[in-house]
Amino acid sequence: MQTYFFILAALLYLGCAFLPSERRLPISIGTVAGWLLHGGALMADMFAPEAVRVGFGVMLSATLWVSVAAYWLENRNFSLDSLRVLVLPVAAVAVILPSVFPGNMVALTGKSDWFLWHIAISILAYSTLTIAAFHAVLMVLQESRLHTRPGPAQSGWFSMALDRLPALLTMEKILFRLIAFGFILLTLTVLSGVVFSEQLFDKAFRWDHKTIFTLLSWGLFGLLLAGRKWQGWRGRTALSFTLTGFAVLLLAYVGSRFVLEVVLHRILV
């Protein structure tokens, strides 16, 4: 049953992604309907009595579920309609991943009470930094459009949506607000994973590719925030750090889990 809800949510996301900007009410209602279907099916698929499903498909789907909510809320406060053409198609793909790559169920018996909190915080961290990466892509497109004279082929609805974005300085403030919040959540994720590894995962902390990539991403975002505060970093420097940090973070969990689950057929927590 969840599979049908996942597919319906994906279709709603795709439909809303490519509606003209003027159809604000259908876009808003369709996005919320898709988000509710996505979330309900995801929760039913993830949780069972005394067990939780983990895997790169579930994690990516949950990350995009939160990212869609973040887009919808931000679009209430600022004119960020062009962000939906980036977020919703990716969410439409992510929403069906748990059906294709289900991962594995992990028994909660004997696990620390903080195990689910660790998963929830890590999903929120990845989601916040995912929407920050989408936001950075939007800023790259916005800056590029400012330096080129739009021709007839560049006057589509997406180009007009770019023209309605807030000023780059406002976009930059939103970006750093997202990065700062995501960095705090990522810090909590790292600390809980390092300090309470044995209680959370029933094994001592170890240096593996997942840990190294996560810490590298954490360092990149931390350096960006420090550079912003002490050196006034902005513009292309900020965008490059954001996209690089996100790419490394993506490799930390989603990339490594994909290799382990799909390529090597290994089941890990």
Give residue 105's identity as a one-letter amino acid code.
M
**How confident is residue 264, by pLDDT bands cut at 50, 70 and 90?**
very low
CB atoms within 10 A of CB 4: 11
| Separation in Å, CA 83 to CA 45, 68, 154 | 28, 10, 17
CB atoms within 10 A of CB 15: 16
CB atoms within 10 A of CB 205: 14
- The token duo for 235 is 């513009």
Between 208 and 132, where is the model more confident? 132
Please state, in angstroms and rounded to a whole number, the distance separating the CA atoms of residues 121 and 255.
19
- The token duo for 139 is 């800023």
Residue 119's nearest CA partner among 10, 180, 179, 196 is 196
**How confident is residue 52, by pLDDT bands cut at 50, 70 and 90?**
confident
Whether 242 has a pLDDT exceeding 80, the answer reads yes
Classify residue 207 as left (phi > 0), alpha (psi -120 to 50) or beta: beta
* Rounded average pLDDT over 177-194: 90
- For the entire predicted model, the pTM comes to 0.84
Q: Which pLDDT tens digit goes with each residue over 3-46?
A: 888 999 999 999 998 888 788 889 989 999 999 999 999 998 88
* Rounded average pLDDT over 62-78: 86
| Separation in Å, CA 31 to CA 6, 58, 67, 171, 249 | 14, 20, 12, 23, 27
Please state, in angstroms and rounded to a whole number, the distance separating the CA atoms of residues 71 and 212.
29
Indicate the domain borders of the chain: 2-263
Q: Are 139 and 83 in contact (CB under 8 A)?
A: no
Please state, in angstroms and rounded to a whole number, the distance separating the CA atoms of residues 104 and 46.
10
Residue 120's nearest CA partner among 34, 42, 180, 203 is 42
